[in-house]
Amino acid sequence: MKQDLISRIQALKTQKNAVILAHYYTSGEVQAIADYVGDSFYLAKVAKACSADVIVFAGVGFMGESAKILNPDKTVLMPDLTADCPMAHMVVPGRIDALRAEYPDLAVVCYINSTAALKCQSDVCVTSSNAVKIVRALENEHIFFIPDENLGRFVAEQVPEKHVILNDGFCPVHAEISLEALLAEKKAHPAAPVLSHPECRAEILAHSDFLGSTAEIIAYAKTSSADEFIICTEDGVEFRLAADNPQKRFYFCQKRPCCTDMKRNTLEKILHVLQTGENEIIVDEKTRVRALLPLERMLELARS
Ligand code: 13P
Ligand code: SF4
Protein backbone atom coordinates (compact mmCIF):
# COMPACT_ATOMS: atom_id res chain seq x y z
CA MET A 1 0.00 0.00 0.00
CA LYS A 2 2.65 2.51 1.09
CA GLN A 3 4.97 1.19 -1.62
CA ASP A 4 2.21 1.78 -4.18
CA LEU A 5 1.84 5.36 -2.97
CA ILE A 6 5.60 5.92 -3.23
CA SER A 7 5.74 4.42 -6.75
CA ARG A 8 2.91 6.68 -7.93
CA ILE A 9 4.63 9.76 -6.49
CA GLN A 10 7.91 8.79 -8.21
CA ALA A 11 6.16 8.27 -11.56
CA LEU A 12 4.33 11.60 -11.38
CA LYS A 13 7.50 13.42 -10.38
CA THR A 14 9.21 12.23 -13.55
CA GLN A 15 6.17 12.89 -15.71
CA LYS A 16 5.77 16.47 -14.46
CA ASN A 17 9.47 17.29 -14.03
CA ALA A 18 8.81 17.94 -10.33
CA VAL A 19 11.07 17.92 -7.27
CA ILE A 20 10.06 17.43 -3.65
CA LEU A 21 11.71 19.62 -1.01
CA ALA A 22 11.18 18.68 2.63
CA HIS A 23 12.20 20.30 5.91
CA TYR A 24 13.83 18.17 8.61
CA TYR A 25 10.72 18.65 10.77
CA THR A 26 8.44 16.71 8.42
CA SER A 27 7.78 13.03 9.12
CA GLY A 28 10.39 10.38 8.28
CA GLU A 29 8.37 8.95 5.40
CA VAL A 30 8.08 12.40 3.78
CA GLN A 31 11.82 13.02 4.22
CA ALA A 32 12.52 9.58 2.73
CA ILE A 33 10.68 10.39 -0.51
CA ALA A 34 12.01 13.94 -0.91
CA ASP A 35 14.70 14.88 -3.44
CA TYR A 36 16.13 17.50 -1.09
CA VAL A 37 15.86 17.53 2.71
CA GLY A 38 17.34 20.30 4.80
CA ASP A 39 16.98 23.32 7.04
CA SER A 40 15.36 26.58 5.90
CA PHE A 41 18.56 28.05 4.46
CA TYR A 42 19.51 24.98 2.46
CA LEU A 43 15.98 24.63 1.07
CA ALA A 44 15.87 28.32 0.05
CA LYS A 45 19.14 27.83 -1.87
CA VAL A 46 17.84 24.65 -3.53
CA ALA A 47 14.59 26.40 -4.47
CA LYS A 48 16.58 29.20 -6.09
CA ALA A 49 18.91 26.89 -8.04
CA CYS A 50 16.62 24.06 -9.09
CA SER A 51 15.66 23.53 -12.72
CA ALA A 52 12.43 21.55 -12.25
CA ASP A 53 9.11 22.91 -13.57
CA VAL A 54 7.26 22.06 -10.37
CA ILE A 55 8.43 22.36 -6.75
CA VAL A 56 6.41 20.45 -4.16
CA PHE A 57 7.37 22.03 -0.85
CA ALA A 58 6.75 19.84 2.19
CA GLY A 59 7.12 22.50 4.84
CA VAL A 60 5.06 25.45 6.06
CA GLY A 61 3.58 28.45 4.28
CA PHE A 62 6.54 30.83 4.47
CA MET A 63 8.78 28.21 2.85
CA GLY A 64 6.51 27.69 -0.15
CA GLU A 65 6.06 31.44 -0.42
CA SER A 66 9.84 32.04 -0.38
CA ALA A 67 10.32 29.36 -3.06
CA LYS A 68 7.76 31.13 -5.26
CA ILE A 69 9.28 34.56 -4.65
CA LEU A 70 12.67 33.19 -5.74
CA ASN A 71 11.17 31.26 -8.71
CA PRO A 72 8.30 33.18 -10.29
CA ASP A 73 8.29 30.96 -13.40
CA LYS A 74 7.98 27.69 -11.54
CA THR A 75 4.84 26.13 -10.13
CA VAL A 76 5.15 25.79 -6.35
CA LEU A 77 2.70 23.40 -4.68
CA MET A 78 2.19 22.81 -0.96
CA PRO A 79 0.81 19.42 0.12
CA ASP A 80 -1.38 21.23 2.70
CA LEU A 81 -2.07 24.95 2.47
CA THR A 82 -3.12 25.09 6.11
CA ALA A 83 0.44 24.18 7.22
CA ASP A 84 1.40 27.60 8.54
CA CYS A 85 4.03 28.81 11.01
CA PRO A 86 2.36 30.81 13.80
CA MET A 87 5.55 32.76 14.44
CA ALA A 88 5.62 34.03 10.84
CA HIS A 89 2.83 36.51 11.71
CA MET A 90 4.07 37.69 15.10
CA VAL A 91 4.91 41.36 14.53
CA VAL A 92 2.57 44.07 15.77
CA PRO A 93 1.43 46.23 12.80
CA GLY A 94 3.01 49.69 12.90
CA ARG A 95 5.99 48.68 15.06
CA ILE A 96 8.41 48.63 12.12
CA ASP A 97 7.36 52.12 10.94
CA ALA A 98 7.57 53.48 14.51
CA LEU A 99 11.12 52.15 14.96
CA ARG A 100 12.21 53.40 11.52
CA ALA A 101 11.05 56.88 12.60
CA GLU A 102 12.97 56.60 15.87
CA TYR A 103 16.23 55.21 14.36
CA PRO A 104 16.91 56.59 10.87
CA ASP A 105 19.68 54.02 10.22
CA LEU A 106 17.54 51.06 11.36
CA ALA A 107 17.97 47.74 9.55
CA VAL A 108 14.95 45.46 9.78
CA VAL A 109 16.38 41.94 9.89
CA CYS A 110 13.71 39.40 9.13
CA TYR A 111 13.98 35.73 10.04
CA ILE A 112 12.88 33.79 6.96
CA ASN A 113 10.10 32.33 9.18
CA SER A 114 7.88 35.29 8.30
CA THR A 115 5.09 36.21 5.90
CA ALA A 116 5.83 37.78 2.50
CA ALA A 117 4.15 40.94 3.83
CA LEU A 118 6.75 41.20 6.62
CA LYS A 119 9.58 40.52 4.17
CA CYS A 120 8.27 43.47 2.14
CA GLN A 121 8.98 45.75 5.11
CA SER A 122 12.45 44.34 5.74
CA ASP A 123 16.01 45.07 4.65
CA VAL A 124 17.48 41.60 4.82
CA CYS A 125 16.32 38.08 5.60
CA VAL A 126 18.25 35.58 7.71
CA THR A 127 17.87 31.97 8.77
CA SER A 128 19.10 30.40 11.98
CA SER A 129 22.25 29.21 10.19
CA ASN A 130 23.36 32.59 8.86
CA ALA A 131 21.77 35.22 11.19
CA VAL A 132 24.93 35.98 13.20
CA LYS A 133 27.11 36.31 10.11
CA ILE A 134 24.64 38.58 8.34
CA VAL A 135 23.88 40.89 11.29
CA ARG A 136 27.62 41.24 11.90
CA ALA A 137 28.17 42.19 8.23
CA LEU A 138 25.57 44.99 8.24
CA GLU A 139 26.78 48.57 8.46
CA ASN A 140 23.73 49.67 10.47
CA GLU A 141 24.14 50.12 14.21
CA HIS A 142 20.46 49.71 15.09
CA ILE A 143 18.80 46.43 14.20
CA PHE A 144 15.15 45.43 14.62
CA PHE A 145 15.13 41.63 14.62
CA ILE A 146 11.77 40.09 13.68
CA PRO A 147 9.80 37.97 14.45
CA ASP A 148 11.68 35.60 16.83
CA GLU A 149 12.74 37.08 20.16
CA ASN A 150 14.81 34.03 21.14
CA LEU A 151 16.86 33.91 17.93
CA GLY A 152 17.17 37.72 18.11
CA ARG A 153 18.58 37.54 21.66
CA PHE A 154 21.00 34.80 20.61
CA VAL A 155 22.22 36.99 17.72
CA ALA A 156 22.49 40.07 19.96
CA GLU A 157 24.76 38.14 22.35
CA GLN A 158 27.04 37.07 19.48
CA VAL A 159 27.20 40.58 17.98
CA PRO A 160 27.47 42.87 21.03
CA GLU A 161 28.65 45.84 18.94
CA LYS A 162 25.10 46.24 17.53
CA HIS A 163 22.01 47.59 19.24
CA VAL A 164 19.53 44.78 18.56
CA ILE A 165 15.89 45.59 19.32
CA LEU A 166 13.93 42.44 20.08
CA ASN A 167 10.40 41.62 19.00
CA ASP A 168 7.78 39.79 20.98
CA GLY A 169 7.48 36.69 18.71
CA PHE A 170 8.32 33.05 19.37
CA CYS A 171 8.08 29.53 18.01
CA PRO A 172 5.46 27.77 20.14
CA VAL A 173 7.19 24.42 19.61
CA HIS A 174 10.65 25.46 20.79
CA ALA A 175 9.36 27.86 23.46
CA GLU A 176 7.45 24.98 25.05
CA ILE A 177 10.63 23.07 25.92
CA SER A 178 10.85 23.64 29.66
CA LEU A 179 13.93 23.90 31.83
CA GLU A 180 12.40 21.36 34.18
CA ALA A 181 12.10 18.82 31.34
CA LEU A 182 15.65 19.52 30.17
CA LEU A 183 17.08 19.14 33.69
CA ALA A 184 15.28 15.80 34.00
CA GLU A 185 16.94 14.57 30.78
CA LYS A 186 20.34 15.87 31.96
CA LYS A 187 19.92 14.00 35.23
CA ALA A 188 18.98 10.79 33.41
CA HIS A 189 21.83 11.14 30.85
CA PRO A 190 24.61 13.15 32.56
CA ALA A 191 27.24 12.39 29.88
CA ALA A 192 25.05 13.52 26.96
CA PRO A 193 25.84 16.96 25.50
CA VAL A 194 22.78 19.19 24.96
CA LEU A 195 22.32 20.40 21.36
CA SER A 196 19.75 23.19 21.06
CA HIS A 197 18.13 25.32 18.38
CA PRO A 198 18.36 29.09 19.10
CA GLU A 199 14.55 29.32 18.84
CA CYS A 200 14.54 27.78 22.37
CA ARG A 201 14.14 30.07 25.38
CA ALA A 202 17.24 31.70 26.95
CA GLU A 203 17.26 29.37 29.98
CA ILE A 204 17.42 26.34 27.68
CA LEU A 205 20.28 27.87 25.68
CA ALA A 206 22.13 28.66 28.93
CA HIS A 207 22.07 24.93 29.81
CA SER A 208 23.20 23.78 26.35
CA ASP A 209 26.58 22.66 25.03
CA PHE A 210 25.99 23.48 21.37
CA LEU A 211 23.63 25.96 19.68
CA GLY A 212 22.81 25.81 16.00
CA SER A 213 20.28 25.51 13.23
CA THR A 214 18.67 22.17 12.51
CA ALA A 215 21.35 21.31 9.94
CA GLU A 216 24.14 22.41 12.30
CA ILE A 217 22.76 20.20 15.09
CA ILE A 218 22.67 17.23 12.69
CA ALA A 219 26.24 17.93 11.52
CA TYR A 220 27.49 18.32 15.10
CA ALA A 221 25.99 14.99 16.21
CA LYS A 222 27.57 13.23 13.25
CA THR A 223 31.11 14.43 13.90
CA SER A 224 31.04 14.44 17.73
CA SER A 225 32.81 11.64 19.57
CA ALA A 226 29.94 11.48 22.12
CA ASP A 227 27.61 8.51 21.76
CA GLU A 228 24.47 10.04 23.26
CA PHE A 229 22.86 13.49 22.99
CA ILE A 230 19.96 15.50 24.37
CA ILE A 231 18.27 17.28 21.47
CA CYS A 232 16.31 20.50 22.04
CA THR A 233 14.51 21.01 18.76
CA GLU A 234 11.58 19.56 16.84
CA ASP A 235 11.45 15.76 16.85
CA GLY A 236 11.45 15.34 13.03
CA VAL A 237 15.26 15.65 13.16
CA GLU A 238 15.40 12.22 14.78
CA PHE A 239 14.89 10.58 11.38
CA ARG A 240 18.15 12.03 10.00
CA LEU A 241 20.02 11.70 13.31
CA ALA A 242 19.15 8.00 13.55
CA ALA A 243 19.94 7.35 9.87
CA ASP A 244 23.34 9.06 10.13
CA ASN A 245 24.29 7.60 13.52
CA PRO A 246 22.76 4.16 14.08
CA GLN A 247 25.14 3.50 16.98
CA LYS A 248 24.33 6.77 18.85
CA ARG A 249 21.36 7.57 21.11
CA PHE A 250 19.21 10.72 21.02
CA TYR A 251 16.93 11.92 23.80
CA PHE A 252 14.17 14.53 23.49
CA CYS A 253 12.63 16.49 26.35
CA GLN A 254 9.12 15.52 27.44
CA LYS A 255 6.73 16.07 25.96
CA ARG A 256 8.52 15.63 22.64
CA PRO A 257 8.58 18.92 20.69
CA CYS A 258 6.39 18.38 17.63
CA CYS A 259 5.33 20.99 15.05
CA THR A 260 1.81 19.96 14.05
CA ASP A 261 1.97 22.25 11.02
CA MET A 262 5.06 20.52 9.61
CA LYS A 263 3.43 17.16 10.25
CA ARG A 264 0.44 18.10 8.07
CA ASN A 265 2.60 17.09 5.11
CA THR A 266 1.81 13.46 4.24
CA LEU A 267 2.55 11.12 1.33
CA GLU A 268 -1.16 11.06 0.43
CA LYS A 269 -1.26 14.87 0.14
CA ILE A 270 1.98 14.94 -1.88
CA LEU A 271 0.45 12.47 -4.33
CA HIS A 272 -2.77 14.51 -4.46
CA VAL A 273 -1.08 17.80 -5.39
CA LEU A 274 1.09 16.07 -7.99
CA GLN A 275 -2.04 14.53 -9.54
CA THR A 276 -4.23 17.63 -9.45
CA GLY A 277 -1.90 20.65 -9.39
CA GLU A 278 -3.98 21.96 -6.48
CA ASN A 279 -2.58 24.11 -3.65
CA GLU A 280 -0.46 26.30 -5.86
CA ILE A 281 1.32 29.17 -4.09
CA ILE A 282 0.43 32.51 -5.65
CA VAL A 283 2.25 35.70 -4.67
CA ASP A 284 1.11 38.93 -6.34
CA GLU A 285 3.88 40.48 -8.44
CA LYS A 286 4.22 43.71 -6.43
CA THR A 287 4.69 41.74 -3.20
CA ARG A 288 7.01 39.26 -4.89
CA VAL A 289 9.34 41.89 -6.30
CA ARG A 290 9.63 43.71 -2.95
CA ALA A 291 9.95 40.54 -0.83
CA LEU A 292 12.65 39.25 -3.19
CA LEU A 293 15.03 42.07 -2.17
CA PRO A 294 15.72 40.90 1.42
CA LEU A 295 15.86 37.26 0.32
CA GLU A 296 18.44 38.01 -2.39
CA ARG A 297 20.42 40.18 0.01
CA MET A 298 20.52 37.24 2.42
CA LEU A 299 21.80 34.88 -0.27
CA GLU A 300 24.44 37.43 -1.28
CA LEU A 301 25.64 38.28 2.27
CA ALA A 302 25.70 34.60 3.28
CA ARG A 303 27.99 33.89 0.30
CA SER A 304 30.52 36.65 1.02
P1 13P B 1 15.95 26.08 10.60
O2 13P B 1 15.41 25.34 9.44
O3 13P B 1 16.66 27.33 10.15
O4 13P B 1 16.78 25.26 11.52
O5 13P B 1 14.69 26.65 11.42
C6 13P B 1 13.91 25.84 12.16
C7 13P B 1 12.47 26.10 12.00
O8 13P B 1 11.78 26.33 12.93
C9 13P B 1 11.90 26.00 10.68
O10 13P B 1 10.56 26.23 10.79
FE1 SF4 C 1 7.11 27.65 12.95
FE2 SF4 C 1 8.20 26.57 15.09
FE3 SF4 C 1 6.84 25.01 13.42
FE4 SF4 C 1 9.23 26.04 12.71
S5 SF4 C 1 8.83 24.59 14.34
S6 SF4 C 1 7.37 26.01 11.47
S7 SF4 C 1 9.18 28.05 13.73
S8 SF4 C 1 6.00 26.70 14.65
Distance (Å) from CA 57 to ligand 1 centroid: 14
Half-sphere exposure of 183 (CA within 13 A, CB side): 5
The reported pLDDT for the residue numbered 301 is: 96
In this predicted structure, which of 14-28, 37-51, 63-77, 144-158 has the lowest mean pLDDT? 37-51
Ligand 1: residues with CB < 6 A are: 39-41, 85, 113, 127-129, 171, 199, 213-214
The reported pLDDT for the residue numbered 16 is: 97
Q: Is the CB of 111 under 6 A from ligand 2?
A: no
Residue 126 pairs with which residues in a beta bridge?
Answer: 111
Count other C-beta atoms under 10 Å from residue 66's C-beta.
31
Phi, psi of 244 (to 5 degrees): -75, -30
Distance (Å) from CA 298 to ligand 1 centroid: 16
The reported pLDDT for the residue numbered 1 is: 75
pTM for the full model?
A: 0.95
Phi, psi of 219 (to 5 degrees): -65, -40
- The residues near 76 (Cβ < 8 Å, ≥ 6 apart) are 54, 55, 57, 64, 67, 68, 280, 281
Give the ligand 2 atom nearest the CA of 60.
Answer: 6
**Average predicted confidence (pLDDT) for the chain:** 97
pLDDT at 264 over 80: yes
Give the ligand 1 atom nearest the CA of 24.
Answer: 2
Q: Where are the beta strands (DSSP E) in the chain?
A: 18-23, 36-38, 54-58, 75-77, 107-111, 124-126, 142-146, 163-166, 194-196, 210-211, 228-232, 249-252
Of 31, 90, 113, best ligand 1 pocket probe by most atoms within 8 Å of the beta carbon: 113
Mean pLDDT, range 6-23, rounded to an integer: 97
Q: Is the CB of 259 under 6 A from ligand 2?
A: yes
Q: How confident is the model at residue 169 (pLDDT cuts 50, 70, 90)?
A: very high
Q: How far is CA 61 from CA 13, 66, 82, 255, in A?
A: 21, 9, 8, 25
Q: How far is CA 62 from CA 8, 86, 188, 204, 249, in A?
A: 27, 10, 37, 26, 32
Cα separation, 138 vs 122, whole angstroms: 13
Q: What is the DSSP string of 176-224?
A: T--HHHHHHHHHH-TTPPEEE-TTS-HHHHHT-SEE--HHHHHHHHHH-
Give the single-character DSSP code of 247: T
